[in-house]
Amino acid sequence: MNKDKNMRIEKDSMGTMRVPIDALYGPQTQRAVENFPISNISFTADFISAIVIIKRSASIVNKKLCLLDSIKSKSIVSACDEILNGNYNEHFPVDIFQTGSGTSTNMNVNEVVSKLANTHFLKDKKNVIHPNDHVNMGQSSNDTIPTAINLSVSILIKNKLIPSLNNLIESIRKKEKEFDKIIKLGRTHLQDATPIKLSQEFSGYRELLLKSKKRFEKINQNLSRLPQGGTAVGTGINTHPDFGKLVAYEISKYTEINFIESPNHFEAQSAQDCSVEVSGVLKALAVSLSKIANDIRWLGSGPRSGLGELNLPSVQPGSSIMPGKVNPVICESVLQSSAQVIANDLAVTLGGLGSILELNLMLPLIAHNLLYSINILSNSMTVFKEKLMDHISANKENCENYIEGSLAMCTSLAPIIGYDAAAEIAYEAFKSGKTIREIALEQNILEEEELEKVLDPNNMIHPK
């Protein structure tokens, strides 16, 4: 007899379980909660919603196939819609470090949907909706969880990452126009190099992000192939032959993203190479963002003893002991999130190695890290754009002053007087503390008027 008023007794195929009285989930979820007290990290709403969309679509399809009556189907759809509205997130507590197939989370969703449908939407209490027989009809965790990975990743890339990426690209494009008349010193190996327009430098940043955007567009082809319909091992046992195709259609209609049934369920369920590919593209974007943030941090260093070619916006005090100090904290945030994404890529890669025979056994690890990476990259790009990129300005005086004193100015003399002669002028300028222009004039290398043209920075920023 249950003596704890905060718990209720429920039964599944393994026996009875004590479940919290207010929980919408049932005994299988409770077993998972007790079996996996590992990280205290549960799946985010992004992933749970993807599974719920699958349940919703499956219910509609099973009704069309005359496998599920209209009352049950409608109740399941209504329950799914309630969850998708974000009202029941606390009822999905299973730790991400669980069974490698994600069965615990699949059953968690099945139980919550059935409980919600039975208590809120099903008028005929004798016509009970069962989590396995009805909500999970025609499905297995082995095809549902891989489908949820593709689905959640596709939705998050489309609705969050790409908009953030586009906004940052546009912000950089505006800075290109703003900086088009500003010439500064280029640098290689952290040493002086030939002049470059500030807008040219920023155009490189924009192109990096445009390339990442194109990579995301290319991976859509593989992400669109859904494993749903393969059930346990890819053969489609216990499901209708048209189930996978019709579910893909329903999911496409709901999400407004084009999905198809995988042409080979054995590949789709036994491996996770698509997830590894997506993670690699996320890593490439992280590396690009890290480069941009690091460059801007260097260019804004100072304000009086660094490069100081960019003025970075002040967003918070930089030191608890040095009054007035302001640090490039937005850049540092981007660098850290980029590093985390690169680390997550290793976890996803190792997760891909969990593909053994007919099933990958690290699906929750893969799902968590992919969605984690997409979220922090998207958020970082938004913060980078709104808190920093939009408000950067150029220190034109510093940009111009560095050019005249640079020894790399001798580069434009090399085609005229030869590499060795130009190098001697550079060495002499370095030893004497004079500029390249001053040494060239002293040595009468060229007529003054010709020298002015050759050493004009405006003539050094394009092929000539």
CATH number for the domain spanning 151: value is 1.20.200.10
Write down the residue that tokens 């990442």 correspond to.
212
State the first-to-last Cα distance of the chain, in angstroms, to the nearest integer. 91
For residues 349 and 281, the answer to whether their CB atoms sit within 8 Å is no
At 37, the pLDDT band (50, 70, 90 cuts) reads: very high
At 279, the pLDDT band (50, 70, 90 cuts) reads: very high
- The answer to whether residues 174 and 308 belong to one domain is yes
- The answer to whether residues 176 and 320 belong to one domain is yes
Tokens of 390: 């939009």
- The answer to whether residues 389 and 411 belong to one domain is no
Q: Could you tell me if residue 448 is inside a domain?
A: yes
Averaged pLDDT, 59-79: 96
CATH number, domain of 103, equals 1.10.275.10
Give one word for 256, left, alpha or beta, with left for phi > 0 and alpha for psi -120 to 50: left
Average pLDDT over the chain reads 95
Q: Which residues contact 307 (CB under 8 A, 6 or more apart)?
A: 298, 299, 300, 301, 398, 402
- The answer to whether residues 274 and 371 belong to one domain is yes
Q: What percent of the chain has pLDDT over 70?
A: 99
- The answer to whether residues 344 and 413 belong to one domain is no
- The answer to whether residues 131 and 156 belong to one domain is no
Tokens of 72: 């049950």
Q: Could you tell me if residue 290 is inside a domain?
A: yes
Q: Could you tell me if residue 311 is inside a domain?
A: yes
- The CA-CA-CA angle for residues 386, 391, 395, to 5°, reads 155
Q: Residue 1 pLDDT > 60, yes or no?
A: no
Q: Could you tell me if residue 242 is inside a domain?
A: no
Domain carrying residue 426: 405-459
Averaged pLDDT, 156-171: 98
Distance CA 302, CA 234 (A): 60
Q: Could you tell me if residue 15 is inside a domain?
A: no
- The answer to whether residues 165 and 61 belong to one domain is no
pLDDT of residue 2: 52
- The answer to whether residues 438 and 356 belong to one domain is no
296 membership: H or E segment, kind and range: helix 273-299
Domain boundary among 82, 105, 137: 137
Q: How many domains does the chain have?
A: 3
Alpha helices by DSSP H, listed for 361-455, are: 363-383, 396-404, 414-417, 419-432, 436-442, 448-454
CATH number, domain of 429, equals 1.10.40.30
- The answer to whether residues 292 and 427 belong to one domain is no
Q: Could you tell me if residue 81 is inside a domain?
A: yes
At 126, the pLDDT band (50, 70, 90 cuts) reads: confident
Q: Residue 278 pLDDT > 60, yes or no?
A: yes
For this structure, is 319 an active site residue? Answer: yes
360 membership: H or E segment, kind and range: strand 359-360
Q: Could you tell me if residue 233 is inside a domain?
A: no
Q: What percent of the chain has pLDDT over 90?
A: 89
Q: Could you tell me if residue 237 is inside a domain?
A: no
Which among 70, 189, 305, 320 is annotated as catalytic?
A: 189
pLDDT of residue 5: 83
Closest-CA residue to 168 (of 386, 348, 353, 408): 386
- The answer to whether residues 155 and 83 belong to one domain is no
For this structure, is 189 an active site residue? Answer: yes
Which among 314, 319, 393, 432 is annotated as catalytic?
A: 319
- The answer to whether residues 213 and 332 belong to one domain is yes
- The answer to whether residues 333 and 190 belong to one domain is yes
pLDDT, tens digit (0-9, with 9 covering 90-100), for 220-252 = 999 999 999 999 999 999 999 999 999 999 999
Q: In terms of residues, how long is the chain? A: 464
